[in-house]
Amino acid sequence: MSHDESRIVPVGTVLEFFESREIVCGVCLAEKNGRLSILTEHNRELNLAQSRIIHFGSEPLPAGISRDQLVQRLLSIRALRSELMEGIHVEELWSLLESEEDGYDVRQLAEFVFPTPVTDHQVAATQRVLLLDRLYFQFKDGKFFARSADKVEQRRLEMQREVEREERLDKGSRWLHAVWNRKPRMPLDDEERLIGSLKSFCLFGQESPESGFVKELLKRAAVPCQTQAVFRLLVRLGVWHENENLFLHEQGITPDFPEEVTRAAEAAEDAHPVGDLEIPGRRDLRHLHVLTIDSPLTRDYDDALSLRVLDDGLFEVGVHIADAAHFVPKGGTIDCEAESRASSIYLPDGRICMIPPFLSEGICSLRAGADRPALSFLIKVDGTGIVRDWEITSSLVRVREQITYEQANQRIENDPALAHLHDLAAKLRAARIENGAVILPLPEINVYVNSAGMIQVYRYEKESPSQITVSEWMIAANALAASFLAKRDIPSIFRSQGECKPETDFTQSEHEIFHIYRQRRLFARAELDTRPKAHCALALPHYTTVTSPIRRYTDLVVQRQIKHLLAGQPQPYMEDELQQLIVKLGVVQSRIFFIQRRWNRYWILKYMEQEDKQILDAIILERNDRYAHLLLPDFLIEINAPVPENSRLQAGQMTRVKLERINPREDILKVQLPDFG
């Protein structure tokens, strides 16, 4: 091999070069500006750069012979060199030089094999053998270096993997071609592994470690090299369904629990019997009329309320929280799984529990008619909503009723207990607002997909009497939990929020939701810390969350801290461990928010398709000369749209947009603003 790209190559010089991984013989017909006109042994004329040539002969072919004679000479040379190759044993040559660190040019190596002086044909044959072998010698800077024994073995394994890869590509591409074209296909031994490669590419694209293999596979199978094409292949194979949640796969989240976690959950009831037995260290509150108020779809009840009318115009409001910590000991199998999940995930087409359903919907859940251990907040308030006294106690409760928000709304006027609970909650809220709380209620868009795939989208207002009642009493319990820990200087997971900046852009709009969206953008992000700080939006000096220990791991941690404090026991979590938990849970929680947001959006776009939406209401949140940032209030979806030339639409206005294109799987939603001129 030569690195001298400027050498003069006489006409008639026999040379060799690679073409489609094959070494081909040729003869130089002409040379100009470093490029060679070559006639090959296959009777083809090529124009090649000198850098492509791997061997130059020193004895040119006779001048003046015909083209056919040149080709015949080249074929004879090829046959001669192929015959010489059979007498070259690379392994023997390598064994002579294995301990040498210096490299050898190909002529020197040929002299180890053939009697000297060596001919062009012997040199070329030696080079062919070494290049085609690729095992014992490494070519670098014009010389061949003998690999060490370890390197040879390593290279042997690499070559074996290359052969296996080529075999996988060959068989897999023919199999995929049949799948793509809906034709019968032969069984594939490597099917499971191949499907794993396709999944990886579909989820991660270029970032997938299988990217190179799958792209070559698709090319050979004549399938478009796109993640959506791979998704369609996996649907046709029955690996995934049409509405597969790829976001869960991307994040490695599954609704299924490991077998050992499921076994531990099933054993928990026997290990922690409740029944009608008194539990030592618990206050018996089963005489109270305890009720839950939840969505009709709720199956894991982790909070409940009660009300007692006391003397002197006082009321005792009980906020009773399921004692999940009683059944899920710290550091156990179930706890480690719950920590890794961070929270339950609620999606339009299903739910992924933090704690196995056997527990979260069974003995942990505050189900009607069953005795359950709880952490109870007993809050004494007067008729004006001022908290006069409170305590936290481990308890035993029995829920009497389980009603929905809608049922509670219908009963509030005629049910004295519910009426008092709502009236006192409204006064708690008014006091918070007077102290600077900022209430910016957005309606909630709930998306539900039934087993037949039909989509329902319904909107409910969080400002209904029952919503306010439950929300305010949960806020009150969480605030008291934070105060309880803060006064005793116990580290925990506290929630805080910095200053809520006031709106400075007073764009006029008759639509309240426009102002809510603008104001929410000015809010500081809520933060978690081991020490309490003020919460601006709630107007509270200390805040945490403890009211959803079945659904949120942070709440389970806080519940454990409080329970051990009540029992006079050492804290289960020290500050360093809590700091590490905050970081870890924050990462997982951000992934969960991402999944919920994107999957809700997917099903809303599917709903638009299902209902054949053509025209949609839109509020202009912001605009410039080119684009407008819109809110679709029926679905609380934000989107950008190009602004027509000379459009007079302004921020704060409601308009109607035309749906231009929608593709839920690719998250495409394009709309067109009206051109009013």
* Exposed e or buried b per residue across 456-482, where buried means at least 16 C-beta atoms within 10 angstroms of its C-beta: ebeeeeeeebbbbbbbbbbbbbbbbbb
Which amino acid, one-letter code, is at 123?
Answer: V
Number of domains comprising the chain: 4
**Do 417 and 364 share a structural domain?**
yes
Cα(440)–Cα(466) distance, integer angstroms: 17
First to last CA, the chain: 72
Closest by Cα among 183, 638, 637 to 629: 638
Instruction: Name the range with the highest mean pLDDT among 126-130, 450-454, 499-503.
Output: 126-130
605 is a domain residue:
no
Residue 278 binned pLDDT confidence (cut-offs 50, 70, 90): low
What is the rounded (10 degree) CA torsion for 455, 456, 462, 464?
A: -160
Last residue of a domain, one of 572, 600, 628: 600
The confidence score (pLDDT) of residue 6 equals 61
- End-of-domain residue from the set 210, 240, 270: 240
**Mean pLDDT highest for which of 16-20, 160-164, 215-219, 460-464?**
215-219
Report CA-CA distances (Å) from 183 to 199, 218, 226, 236, 240: 21, 16, 21, 11, 19
Please tell me the predicted confidence (pLDDT) of residue 345.
Answer: 96
Whether residues 134 and 160 fall in one domain: no
Residue 225 shares a structural domain with residue 83: no
- How confident is the model at residue 273, as a pLDDT? 65
Question: Do residues 428 and 458 both lie within one domain?
Answer: yes
In a domain, 252, yes or no: no
Cα 288 to Cα 113, 373, 403: the distances in Å are: 100, 14, 16
* 122 and 192 part of one domain: no
Task: Indicate whether 291 and 369 sit together in one domain.
Answer: yes
Look at residue 279 and tell me whether its pLDDT is greater than 80.
no
pLDDT in tens, 373-417: 999 999 999 999 999 999 999 999 999 999 999 999 999 999 999
pLDDT in tens, 430-461: 999 999 998 888 888 999 998 888 999 988 77
Shared domain check, 510 and 402: yes
Judge whether 113 lies within some domain: yes
Cβ within 8 Å of residue 525, ≥6 positions away: 497, 498
What CA–CA distance (Å, rounded) separates 562 from 551?
A: 18
Average pLDDT over residues 605-623: 93
Q: Are 437 and 538 in contact (CB under 8 A)?
A: yes
Q: Does residue 139 belong to any structural domain of this protein? A: yes
Question: What's the full length of the chain, in residues?
Answer: 677
Which whole number is the average pLDDT over 204-231?
95
Same domain, 157 and 126: no
Residues 659 and 513 grouped into a single domain: no
| Domain extent for 633 | 613-672
| CA pseudo-torsion sign 198, 200, 206, 211 | negative
pLDDT tens across 56-109, in order?
Answer: 999 899 988 999 999 999 999 999 999 999 999 999 999 999 888 899 999 999
Tell me the pLDDT band of 540, cut-offs 50, 70 and 90: very high
Domain co-membership, 521 together with 453 = yes
Tell me which of 600, 622, 643 is where a domain ends.
600
Residues 141, 157 within the same domain: no
Which range is least confidently modeled, 163-172, 249-258, 515-524? 515-524
Domain shared by 275 and 400, yes or no: yes
Please give the model's pTM, rounded to 2 decimal places: 0.81
**Of the candidates 106, 149, 153, 112, the residue with the CA atom closest to the CA atom of residue 130:** 106
